[in-house]
Amino acid sequence: MELQQLRYVLAVAETRNFTRAAERCFVVQSALSHQIKALEGELGLQLFARTSRRVELTEAGAAFLPAARAALEAAERAVAEASAATGRLRGTLRIGAIPTVTALDLPAALGAFRDAHPEVRISLRGGGSDEFMEQIAAGTLDVAVLGLSESVHPNRVDSRVLARERLVAVLPAGHRLAARRRLHLRDLAEEAFVDFPAGAPGRVPSDAAFAKAGVAREVVFEAAGVELFLGLVRERLAIALLSDAVVGDRSGLVTIPVADGPLRVQHLAWSEFNPSPAALAFVDVARGHALAETVS
């Protein structure tokens, strides 16, 4: 069994198409198909059910896939470790980022990292802080930017604080409170809110702040994307609590500081057990592109 064969199997499993898998692997389709058939012959198993129009994993293929992925990742990690010992970084850097990254100039950090380590492949995915911590602990993610409540510390990962920020009220222009210079949570008690889904790390700071203030609020819209938040606010369907840096200078919106508003802490996290050389190199690069710790 060769590593290239495992790469081909994973590509077909992910694309569900031999042509697209071959394009991803930069080989002709006939060569990829031949290698997969050879592997199936070696294993005595059919990994894929295929017709001219459809490709699916068989039951055996689905069972084979997790171990194949782990074996390939382990082999790539071994190559990366060996290269790092000679001063060269190779392999893959897998990064996760919450939708509201404001404490790190992530594109600039990735650009600087690529310039310094051009042989490392960079993979970036979006998601939530809880899943990122689980993925780092499981070894399927290398580094992540997290956003957590002040009372929550990242668990099962190494981390450092990038910034602390107090969220602001985001209101539509012309709102009854839009002319105020500062608000308190009690001023927002009668408002309809848009926020992240209940229990999500991005929402916990706001729920905790309202509970601490003894103020009830109604979240009428739940969403995962900031642009949808802002669109709902602009249409006067709700208000939101977000980082001022996320909102910026947008037409039709007003941001106002909230004296007792939620405090969110952004962290850069990586494996506490066995960080890859690429992960440690990115953590070092990110230091030069992080904002100063601030609380507004």
Measure the CA–CA gap between 283 and 263, rounded to whole angstroms.
24
Displacement of CA 60 from its chain's centroid (Å): 31
Task: Using DSSP, state whether 247 is helix, strand or coil.
Answer: helix
| pLDDT bracket for residue 88 (50, 70, 90) | confident
90: confidence class by pLDDT, cuts 50, 70, 90: confident
Final residue before a domain boundary, out of 55, 84, 113:
84
Q: What's the pLDDT band for 1 if we cut at 50, 70, 90?
A: low
Same domain, 174 and 247: yes
Are both 157 and 172 inside the same structural domain?
A: no
Same domain for 240 and 100: no
Residue 207 and residue 282 share a domain: no
| Residues 225 and 251 occupy one common structural domain | yes
Asked if 100 and 228 touch (Cβ cutoff 8 Å), the reply is no
Report if residue 292 sits inside a domain: no
Tens digits of residue pLDDT in 30-73 = 999 999 999 999 999 999 998 878 899 999 999 998 888 888 77
Q: Domain holding 11: CATH number?
A: 1.10.10.10
Domain assignment of residue 36, given as a range = 3-84
Over 80: is that where the pLDDT of 86 sits?
no
Instruction: Count how many domains the chain has.
Output: 3
Residues 6+ apart with CB under 8 A from 239: 169, 170, 171, 172, 175, 188, 191, 192, 193, 194, 233
Distance CA 118, CA 259 (A): 45
pLDDT tens digits, one per residue of 198-247: 999 999 999 999 999 999 999 999 998 899 999 999 999 999 999 999 99
Are the CB atoms for 111 and 80 separated by under 8 Å?
Answer: no
Mean pLDDT value of segment 88-117: 92
Q: Is 233 within a domain? A: yes
Phi, psi (degrees; rounded to nearest 5) at 237: -90, -20
